Amino acid sequence: MEKKQTIKVGIVGVGNCASSLYQGFTYYSNRENIQPECSGLMKNIIGGYDINSIEVVAAFDVDTRKVGKTMKAGILSEPNCTPLFVDEKDLPEGPEIMMGRVLDGVANHMLTSPEDEGFRVADKPTTNVVDILKEKEVDILINYLPVGSQKATEFYAECCIESKVSLLNCIPVFIASDETWEKKFVDAGIPLIGDDMKSQFGASILSQMIQELAFSRGHHVKCHIQRNVGGNTDFLNMTDKSRVVSKKKSKENVIRSQNIIRDIPMDNSYYHAGPSEYIRYYKDNKIANFHVELEGFMGSPVTLDAQLSVIDSPNSAGVVMDAIRYLKVAREMGIKGSLRGPSAFTQKSPPQNLTYTQMIEECDALSNRQLTHITEKQVCRI
């Protein structure tokens, strides 16, 4: 595959996460904000691509406050509430936001919620997504749909397959981790990453590292409880408990993953994770509380109680910046199917569980285009 200078990206769902990602392109266009380390980026260069290699060329939404506007206007529209980290005048206008497919992408309670009285589904004809993806020569489509959008996610996954576009699935609808869906992408000859984005320094990666540390230091985990509270539309959407089932499963997958890797039984441990409450006042701030009980030497008790407070959407965008570039490199290398290392590194429910060290090794191998260091199952898909 011929290398392009630009990674062309499409976005489904122009909410807070899309806002932070879009702001990031402008923020890091200033080279003074990119240092060798501690710049807020996990990787400056991946496979020869920096942040400025990425361009948003297509966007889809269904909210009347966003459809028909430019990307810049869309990310600044309600109900988006994530902070601005760049000067508004410096943001590029970007592509026009087109009408997407609704399906189950809008929860019934969101149509009548007093917390977001301005929400209406736009009265516009649905865009032919496949035609747009082909016309704009999109490399990667990012799925930022609301949690619980099973049918809508499957629709966009099929659009990706038909148009030979890679899917970056940032929500807990299981596509990359589902063998049937992965085979469809393998047959189409394209890679994907999923499922359910794992924030850069968020509750899930912290839970994972607590589990790894406990096991590596010889401790038994009696219980690991993680509770999350937030005030953005993601949390408002999840007040419908029927839509939060997959989210809870995905977050608990992160905690259980280290038991699976080490073949440690889970029947005598209690694990709980998931969204707990919507509090509008918090806006895009998310507060996570952890309670972990361990047994150490001779069964001696250890208790950890901690609280993490983060701005949710930029915490997501930093990870997506890397996932985009891993997918582009994989496309150029002819790798197809779910990327094991990058999915484990960037997502809560990857197709294969790995330790943190294994994730880094596989991501570095892909970044350096070293096939011999990539998971054997992945190499077979070249």
pTM of the model: 0.93
Is domain 7-198+314-379 in CATH 3.40.50.720, yes or no? yes
364 or 37: which leads in pLDDT: 364
User: Could you please report the per-residue DSSP string of 146-182?
Assistant: PTT-HHHHHHHHHHHHHHT-EEEE-SSS-STT-HHHH
Band (pLDDT 50/70/90 cuts) for residue 22 is: very high
Q: Which class would CATH give 203-312?
A: alpha beta
Please tell me the predicted confidence (pLDDT) of residue 49.
95
Residues of the chain within CATH 3.30.360.10 domain(s) are 203-312
Share of the chain above pLDDT 90, in %: 81
Residues of the chain within CATH 3.40.50.720 domain(s) are 7-198+314-379
Please tell me the predicted confidence (pLDDT) of residue 381.
47
Q: How far apart are CA 321 and CA 316, in angstroms?
A: 9
Please tell me the predicted confidence (pLDDT) of residue 2.
45
Identify the three-state secondary structure at position 286: strand
Q: How far apart are CA 126 and CA 142, in angstroms?
A: 18
Q: What is the pLDDT of residues 53-66, one digit of tens each?
A: 999 999 999 999 99
289 pLDDT exceeds 60? yes
Please tell me the predicted confidence (pLDDT) of residue 372.
56
28 pLDDT exceeds 70? yes
Band (pLDDT 50/70/90 cuts) for residue 38 is: low
